[in-house]
A = this chain, B = another copy of it.
Amino acid sequence: MAEEVKLFGTWTSPYSRRIELALKLKGIPFQYIEEDLSNKSPQLLKYNPVHKMVPVLVHNGKPITESQIILEYIDETWKNNPFLPQDPYQRAMARFWAKFIDEKVKAAEMKAKSVEGKEIELVVEEFFEEMKFLENELKGKDFFGGETIGFVDIVANIVAFFFTVTQQAVGVEAFTPEKFPVLFKWIGKITEIDVVNECRPPREKHLAYVKAVIEGFKSAPK
């Protein structure tokens, strides 16, 4: 049977961009469908009736949702260029850091929505304090996955391309090469990989989008 792979995503979502990256790293041809989250398509609602969110990967008609679950599915289905290590302990560690990143980002988003006006700066600063665990984890390695890009690197791509834009939009300088030398060295490394750059939104357009979202948080009724 010919493989049919479709990805429903949106250009601003680090979660769907990481699935694009994973498919490209594995060399899997796929059809990309851009969703407008303010006017979700009937297909998206059909394929993800529980969360109604992107990303959704549809493989030979079967939908898979939740970005980290999709990454594991891709890694188990197409065995070339493995994302996760073989050793069960190393796999557990990779899953731990991937979960850490997504949970902390989500928690910061929730907090940012609930605070008033300029308090959002404190949320961003607090968030970067927590990212010191990640800086520490990466010490002495080129990639989280060791010598090459792996599961945690794909997830942590959110650090490289979304954190700097977010702090610029908020107007803080919490994430700098002086404070995070190891993470910035790693950003340099993954930026050398062509497919990584292909899965990155254009910076100015992205910055304008994030600024609009933050203004929305600030002015929303609490």
Q: Residues of A with Cβ closer than 8 Å to B?
A: 50, 59, 62, 64-66, 69-70, 72-73, 76-77, 88-89, 91-92, 95-96, 99-100, 133
- Shortest A134–chain B CB gap in Å is 10
Task: Report chain B residues within 8 Å CB of A65.
Answer: 96
Provide 5 A-B residue pairs closer than 8 Å at the C-beta atoms, listed in order of the A residue: A50-B133, A64-B92, A66-B95, A69-B99, A73-B92
Q: Tell me whether A72 and B89 are in contact in the complex, defined as CB-CB below 8 angstroms, given that A50-B133, A133-B50 are known contacts.
A: no
Interface of A is mostly: helix
- Shortest A102–chain B CB gap in Å is 11
Q: Tell me whether A88 and B76 are in contact in the complex, defined as CB-CB below 8 angstroms, given that A50-B100, A50-B133 are known contacts.
A: yes
Q: Tell me whether A95 and B76 are in contact in the complex, defined as CB-CB below 8 angstroms, given that A50-B100, A62-B89 are known contacts.
A: no
Task: Report chain B residues within 8 Å CB of A62.
Answer: 89
Q: Are A76 and B91 in contact (CB under 8 A)?
A: yes
A91 to B74, CA, bound (A): 12
A89 to B65, CA, bound (A): 11
- B50, B72, B92, B133: the one contacting A70 at CB < 8 Å is B92
Q: Tell me whether A72 and B50 are in contact in the complex, defined as CB-CB below 8 angstroms, given that A66-B99, A99-B66 are known contacts.
A: no
A96 to B69, CA, bound (A): 7
Q: Are B66 and A91 in contact (CB under 8 A)?
A: no
Sort A-B residue pairs by CB-CB distance and give the 7 closest, nearest first. Answer: A76-B88, A73-B92, A69-B95, A77-B88, A64-B92, A69-B92, A73-B88
Task: Report chain B residues within 8 Å CB of A91.
Answer: 72-73, 76
Across the interface, name the chain B residue whose C-beta is closest to A95.
B69
Task: Report chain B residues within 8 Å CB of A76.
Answer: 88, 91
Q: Which of A59, A66, A92 is most buried by chain B, counting CB atoms within 10 A of its CB?
A: A92
Across the interface, name the chain B residue whose C-beta is closest to A97.
B50
